[in-house]
Amino acid sequence: MEISEETKEVRDLLQSIIKSKKTLRMYPQNNPVYVKTLEDAYIRFNSFFDYKDTFTLKIKQNSIYYDAEQLYYNPEKEDNFALFFFKDGLREISFKKGLTQEEIEEFLRIIALDFDREAIDDDIVTLLWEKDFQNIKYIVDEAYLLDVDEENYQDTAEEKTKEQVTDVDDLMRAYADGFGEEDISGVSIVPLSEKDLQLLVKELEKDSSDNKVYKLVSILFELIYTSEDKSDLEDIYTFLQEAILFSMKHGDIHAILDVMKRAREVIDNPMLSENEKRYMRMLPVYLGTEVIMLLLADLLDSGVEIEEKVLENLVQFFEKNAIEPMVKCLGELKTIRARKSIIEALIVTGKKDIQTLSKGLDDQRWYVVRNIIYILRRIGDRRATEYLLRTVRHGDIRVRKEVIKAFGELGGKEVIHTLRECLDDPDMQVRIAAAKAFGSIGTEAPKRIILDEICDKDFKDKEFDEKREFYEVLSRWKDTEVFEFLIKTFKTTSFFGRAKNYENRACAAFCLGLLGNKEALPVLEKYKDSNNKLLRDFTYAAIKKLEYGQ
């Protein structure tokens, strides 16, 4: 299944840090590569902070996690980014919104140090402490700050970790012996680690009669085929509700699926009466009640592994009454994995009642609103447009960008005017998002709006990156009008405002390269040796793309 945008973004951000660590070690501070690396890292952090206020990495010996998602894993000792922090006791690093480029540079310079080869008296923790970062926080396990030889620190860390894990066989023997002893006064109680508790729970679960629920369900459904009395059917329905509740509390999704599949068989059986089927039709409604949805949310948040296919099969039984409690859960979930599961469930179930799903747009929490917009966008029902229009002026830029993206994918005449207004938003990112939405719609009206925007007298004063984005959107329309407009812009020279004119011409060259029309090559060739570096670089890139597709 395709990974979520959030997961991809945090993975890319971590990879940017790892890449920066290596790059900054190789180049001096005044080198363009060094400068570009810092700028790229700063941009990636700011992009992440558009959606979240804190980027927290949890560090283990060979892996790095963000929430419950494993972003990095390396079992080797050499070039192990996780072990690099772990050996000095670092267990968590948090980067907060407001992080400055100077702080990023100082942090990257610290981790870029070669502690193995350079004569460095301090460790990573000490160097971080000395910098007193305002927007970088960390948690240190002081028990791991050992005075050991550098070449043996990995082995020492491994041994220290192993000492904290109790062997499952020893644990179970102690558990069995403990119940056999009458006098427990001399027993030495050792605290259990989280792993020990998980192992114990699994062993205890094996010791219970898992088949009892399945046997009960089988008996109840057999009774449906033989019972004629209404009170009997009501009792059976009540017992099936209890079976669903019990199974959800114990995380047994398979047992719930068994109930729901059997109920569907009853509903599809032409030999049974409507009275018998009526109670079975009520089971999916019970499955979508708040009490069951909250238990499901807790189960997902607990980190218990649930196969995607099993969860997908469960969601197929949800009725529209499950939408409201799932939206409520969406604002309370703690882990990425759990949020992703509920979002995917709402994409499936939300189709049954767009109006109820859209009530989530009134939530006071920006991230809930943004998730509901994302869900509506994935559903792709244009009826959602009327509900989405009221969020376009939301106070949070992240929400505005998401709804603009939704408009671009949903399309329709009703969103054109709203997107046009977004081009005048005070925030550059919102304006760019609106332009890209027009490109996604791809009709004649959006093309005319983008052309008019580029031709506006104030457009030349915009930042170069914004202008380039608009020209890139314009490349979506590969017609004669756009081609001729770009050639004209590329050829235009001006004595006044020469720097801005060069920017416009560079953008036109960039767009010509994207169009793929080789008729532009003769014109581009004339300016590939321009005295202006920006124009020269973009012209050369356009020629290369047209000739070689690169």
- Please check whether residue 131 is in contact with residue 108, taking contact to mean a CB–CB distance below 8 angstroms: no
pLDDT tens figures, 20-58: 888 887 777 777 788 888 888 888 888 888 778 899 999
Gap between the Cα atoms of 215 and 193, Å rounded: 35
Please compute the mean of the pLDDT values over residues 304-323 and round it to a whole number.
94
Confidence of residue 116 (pLDDT cuts 50, 70, 90): low
Going from N- to C-terminal start, the domains of the chain cover 5-163, 168-207, 365-441, 450-550
Under CATH, which number does the domain 365-441 receive?
A: 1.25.10.10
Please compute the mean of the pLDDT values over residues 329-345 and round it to a whole number.
91
C-alpha dihedral, 148 to 150 to 151 to 157, nearest 10°: 60
Gap between the Cα atoms of 471 and 514, Å rounded: 10
Gap between the Cα atoms of 36 and 39, Å rounded: 5
List the Cα angle 259/350/410 in 5-degree steps: 150
Pairing state between β 63-66 and 136-140: unpaired
From the list 393, 402, 443, 395, the residue with the least C-alpha distance to 422 is 393
Output the average pLDDT for the chain.
83
pLDDT score recorded for residue 121: 52
Gap between the Cα atoms of 416 and 447, Å rounded: 11
Residue 420 has pLDDT above 90, yes or no: yes
Top-confidence range, 119-123, 167-171, 397-401: 397-401
pLDDT score recorded for residue 234: 87
pLDDT tens figures, 449-499: 999 999 998 998 899 999 999 999 999 999 999 999 999 999 988 766 788
| % residues pLDDT > 90 (the chain) | 50
pLDDT tens figures, 491-543: 988 766 788 889 999 999 999 999 999 999 999 999 888 899 999 999 999 99
Say which DSSP state 188 is in. P
Q: Which two tokens stand for residue 150?
A: 């550098």
Gap between the Cα atoms of 394 and 227, Å rounded: 57
Residue 162 has pLDDT above 50, yes or no: no
